[in-house]
Amino acid sequence: MGIEPAQPNRGVVTAVRGSVVDARFEGHLPSIRTLLRAGADGAMAIEVLTQVDARHVRGIALTATQGLARGMPVTDTGGPLLAPVGKAILSRMFDVFGHAIDRQEEPKDVSWRSVHREPPPLIHRSTTSVIFETGIKMIDVLVPLEAGGKAGLFGGAGVGKTVLLTEMIHNMVGQHQSANQGVSIFCGIGERCREGQELYADMQKAGVLKNMVMVFGQMNEPPGARFRVGQAALTMAEYFRDEEQRDVLLLIDNIFRFIQAGSEVSGLMGQMPSRLGYQPTMGTELSGLEERIANTDSGAITSIQAVYVPADDFTDPAAVHTFSHLSASIVLSRQRAGEGLFPAIDPLQSSSKMATPGIVGERHYAIAQEIRRTLAQYAELKDIIAMLGLEQLSPADRGVVARARRLERFLTQPFFTTEQFTGLPGQLVSLADALDGCERILGDEFKDRPESALYMIGAISQVKAGAKADDATPSAKAPSPSPAKIAPPEVAHAP
Decide if 205 is catalytic.
no
Q: Out of 92, 150, 161, 241, which one is annotated catalytic?
A: 161
CB 31 within 8 A of CB 25: no
Q: Which helix (H) or strand (E) holds 367?
A: helix 362-388
Residue 453 DSSP SS3: helix
Task: Give the span between the Cα atoms of 11 and 23, in whole angstroms.
Answer: 6
Q: What is the DSSP pairing of strand 183-191 with strand 212-218?
A: parallel
Q: Out of 192, 210, 373, 468, which one is annotated catalytic?
A: 192
Short-list 65, 9, 63, CA closest to 34: 9
Task: Give the span between the Cα atoms of 132 and 177, in whole angstroms.
Answer: 12
Cα dist from 390 to 374, 453, 476, 480, whole Å = 16, 21, 5, 12
Cα-Cα-Cα-Cα dihedral sign, residues 230, 232, 236, 241: positive
Short-list 480, 443, 448, 481, CA closest to 463: 448
For residue 392, what is the DSSP state?
Answer: G
> Angle, nearest 10°, between helix axes 161-173 and 193-206?
40
Buried (b) or exposed (e) across 116-152, using 16+ Cβ within 10 A?
A: eeebbeeeeebeebebbbbbbbbbbbbbbbbbbbbbb
Task: Give the span between the Cα atoms of 74 and 133, in whole angstroms.
Answer: 50
DSSP class per residue in 224-260: HHHHHHHHHHHHHHHHHHHTS---EEEEEE-HHHHHH
Decide if 191 is catalytic.
yes
CB 471 within 8 A of CB 454: no
Short-list 134, 136, 137, 210, CA closest to 177: 134
Residue 373 DSSP SS3: helix
Q: Out of 133, 167, 191, 408, which one is annotated catalytic?
A: 191
Task: Give the span between the Cα atoms of 148 and 294, in whole angstroms.
Answer: 5
CB 397 within 8 A of CB 423: no
Decide if 4 is catalytic.
no
Residues assigned a catalytic role:
161, 191-192
